[in-house]
Amino acid sequence: MGSHRERPPLLIRPGFSRRFAVFVGFTHLSAAGVIPALTADLPLFLLLLPIAASALYVGYVDVLRLAPWSIRSVLWEPDGTWRIQLVSGAEHEVRLSPATFVTLPLVLLNFRCGLLRRRALPVFADALDPEQLRRLRQRLRIEGAARDPASDAP
């Protein structure tokens, strides 16, 4: 007979988030808007080039999740282990970092994939079913990264 504390696995497969796309666009446009006020000897397009490259990269990898190394889904097993599945189909076992951020409009899942590699999955409220997002926030607040003692190590 199972314990009342056992929970079913939680599969998080976020969809497209309009809020995230607007946020990324707004921050990059704000950075580009400051460039003309700078007094630099470089031409304007050379200063705008890194901002445009960053906007394209973040849009491709994190907003649209089209890159092979983008996170497609995350599975939180009942024993506390986490598995991420990439768009390429590869799966990796990861640990939840204590730096995970939980609020009503946004959950930022930070993962450790080994000694030096880290991954992040921003989950805005419009990217998940409201009930699934509620369960995720609830379990993160109750259990969080505390179930994995190795996640506290630097």
Q: Where are the domains of the chain?
A: 10-15+69-148, 18-63
Higher pLDDT among residues 138 and 4, named by residue: 138
- Interatomic CA distance for residues 93 and 122, integer angstroms: 18
The secondary structure of 14-61 as a DSSP string is ----HHHHHHHHHHHHHHHHHGGGS--SS-HHHHHHHHHHHHHHHIII
Q: At residue 121, what are phi and psi to the nearest 5 degrees?
A: -130, 105
- DSSP 3-state of 76: strand
pLDDT digits (tens, 9 = 90+) for 29-84: 999 999 888 877 888 888 899 999 999 999 999 999 999 999 999 999 998 899 99
- DSSP 3-state of 127: helix
* Relative orientation angle of helices 44-58 and 18-34, to the nearest 10 degrees: 170
Position 151 scores a pLDDT of: 45
Contact 108, 123 (CB under 8 A): yes
Position 145 scores a pLDDT of: 63
pLDDT digits (tens, 9 = 90+) for 91-144: 999 999 999 999 999 999 999 998 899 999 999 999 999 999 999 999 999 887
Stretch 143-150: mean pLDDT: 60
Position 5 scores a pLDDT of: 62
Is 150's pLDDT higher than 60?
no
- What pTM did the predictor assign? 0.83
**Pick from 14-18, 64-68, 144-148: least confident:** 144-148
